[in-house]
Structure 1
């Protein structure tokens, strides 16, 4: 009982200390959400029809492009599109040159060690007949940005 009480007191003291320091959770160490809001959302997009169409269109199109445009409007942000291959875009995301990458990614993405993966927000039929659960990629550690994006995608904000 004494160890439990001591642990509880330590937890309360820790929370009180962190609160007094002005730390907010979730946080963005690089300030992505603050920078993008009323600013520019830098988005990497790779070809994955019908989710993202970059070839021969001039301007990206597709289901995920529409979602990103609605999210940018939600943040009062302009969009700067960068088309490319997945590997190059994920590398740019890691380097801090992009804020978001879309391209028909699923929760089976091989990029989860290099990018924060949103919760699945849509499902489709995979080529093998199974269910593909679609996600977007954000910078690792930019949790306030990721939470805002997930709330937008999962709470139906995109449909409003």
Structure 2
């Protein structure tokens, strides 16, 4: 019997033990290392928005638009209030990286340059650009906060399927 054939049962036993140990610890996947989803649920969703046509319009203190409505509905689904921050994409991404925001919206597309600085949702809707091209819309979340990102993607997908966005 080869050495690798003899070690297979040991490797399998180690994997089973590790799985059982992690399951017993209450580990869930996906997870949020910084606890974004847990902090937002029943609390405050800190949303950054940048003005961009019908997606996000800002006049006065309260933003409005298609994506603003979606963010409000997402917050409602988490029993959370929304705290708005308006700014440029760059300023908002910096704030997201520093832990001051939970998501960013503003007509962002799957071609966003911020993929190394933020978690990007799967495209949840399409829009037509002035040149006739198709834009695939996304939102940004804190990098690595996968439970939050997953919940946001699921919400946006269900909302899009229902024709609400």
Does the TM-score normalized on the shorter chain lie above 0.5? yes
User: In 1, are the aligned partners of 2:97 and 2:118 still within 8 Å (CA)?
Assistant: yes
The one-character-per-residue Cα deviations of 1:36-62 (angstroms, maximum 9, x if unpaired) are: 1111100100011111112x3431011
Aligned match of 2:100: 97
Alpha-carbon distance, 1:15 to partner: 1.4
Pair 51,9 (structure 1): closer, same or farther in 2 beyond 3 Å? same
Tell me the secondary structure at the aligned position of residue 101 of structure 2: coil
Larger radius of gyration: 2
Root-mean-square deviation (Å): 2.0
Q: Distance in 2 between matches of 1:137 and 1:113?
A: 11
In the TM superposition, what are the counterparts of 1:66-105 in structure 2 within 5 Å?
66-105=69-108
How many residues get paired? 159
The one-character-per-residue Cα deviations of 1:48-79 (angstroms, maximum 9, x if unpaired) are: 1111112x343101110000000011111100
In the TM superposition, what are the counterparts of 1:1-160 in structure 2 within 5 Å?
2=5, 7-54=11-58, 56-156=59-159, 159=162
The one-character-per-residue Cα deviations of 1:66-98 (angstroms, maximum 9, x if unpaired) are: 000000111111000000000000000000000
Normalising by structure 1, report the TM-score. 0.90
Normalising by structure 2, report the TM-score. 0.87
More strand per residue? 2
User: In 1, are the aligned partners of 2:125 and 2:160 still within 8 Å (CA)?
Assistant: no
